């Protein structure tokens, strides 16, 4: 694991130039946010291999942790339980440079995790990981406004409880770390996350700072179904060496 950590630090520096932030207000072409093609389409139609999913996930665990729970400070998101299609799309987009992620990019390369088959394998493995029972949440001081904003603006795509939609590539957001939600929301609003759904980009432009904090605090407190959540202290047995 130490070797993976050292590799992460080195490659993150080397590939930092791949980040192409967009200035606020600059027009961004998001018309092709999910037209598919390439590795995305290929991976979606492959039969996942469980053992290779485990082997591939070991690379991912350097950041997302062995449980797939990320870090509560939001540096790395929880990915455990994420929809199969969503994980495939994000990996394929990062590899094709449709989504700027200089930290993750070197780990997502075919030379590191393999081709489309490995994308399908690790996405299936991640989907079955039980979710964090104690994700990071916000201050909890404006939840009434957050609930109203969520129901008025977010339910149509992300669902009543933040469950998302696998077929439509809408991610699960319940149980996600508050600080990660804040960062991604801001990048989407500014156009920095170029593979974001353009409907969302437009929808959140009028949100104030108070609105942002309130709705994301509310989202961070949405709970996944009990059967998807691990017991406190759960340790991934696939890496219980």
Residues 228-241: pLDDT tens digits? 999 999 999 999 76
Q: Is 131 helix (H, G, I), strand (E, B) or coil?
A: strand
Q: pTM higher than 0.75, yes or no?
A: yes
**Rounded to 10 degrees, what is the CA torsion of 130, 94, 199, 139?**
50
Q: Output the pLDDT for position 17.
A: 31
Residue 229: phi and psi, rounded to 5, are -105, 135
The DSSP code sequence of 103-118 is TTHHHHSHHHH-SHHH
pLDDT given for residue 34 in this prediction: 77
CATH label, 2-18+36-239, candidates 1.10.760.10, 3.30.1480.10, 3.40.47.10, 3.90.110.10: 1.10.760.10
Tens-digit pLDDT profile for residues 158-192: 999 999 999 999 999 999 999 999 999 999 999 99
Token pair 């994000």: residue:
90
Helix axes 116-128, 84-95, angle to 10 degrees: 140
State pLDDT tens for residues 94-149: 999 999 999 999 999 999 999 999 999 999 999 999 999 999 999 999 999 999 99
């Amino acid at each position: 694991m130490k070797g993976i950590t050292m590799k992460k630090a080195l490659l993150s520096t080397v590939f930092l130039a791949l980040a192409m932030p967009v200035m606020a207000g600059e027009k961004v072409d998001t018309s092709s946010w999910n037209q598919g093609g390439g590795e995305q389409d290929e991976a979606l139609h492959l039969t996942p291999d469980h053992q290779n999913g485990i082997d591939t996930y070991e690379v991912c665990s350097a950041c997302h942790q062995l449980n797939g729970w990320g870090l509560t400070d939001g540096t790395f998101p929880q990915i455990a339980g994420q929809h199969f299609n969503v994980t495939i799309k994000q990996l394929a987009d990062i590899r094709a440079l449709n989504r700027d992620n200089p930290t993750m990019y070197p780990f997502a390369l075919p030379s590191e995790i393999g081709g489309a088959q490995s994308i399908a394998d690790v996405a299936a493995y991640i989907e079955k990981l039980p979710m964090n029972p104690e994700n990071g949440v916000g201050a909890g001081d404006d939840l009434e406004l957050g609930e109203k904003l969520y129901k008025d603006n977010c339910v149509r795509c992300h669902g009543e409880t933040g469950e998302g939609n696998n077929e439509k590539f809408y991610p699960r957001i319940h149980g996600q770390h508050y600080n990660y939600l804040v960062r991604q929301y801001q990048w989407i609003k500014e156009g920095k996350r170029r593979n974001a759904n353009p409907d969302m980009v437009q929808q959140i432009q009028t949100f104030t700072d108070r609105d942002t904090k309130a709705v994301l605090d509310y989202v961070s407190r949405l709970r996944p179904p009990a059967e998807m959540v691990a017991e406190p202290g759960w340790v991934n047995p696939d890496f219980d060496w």
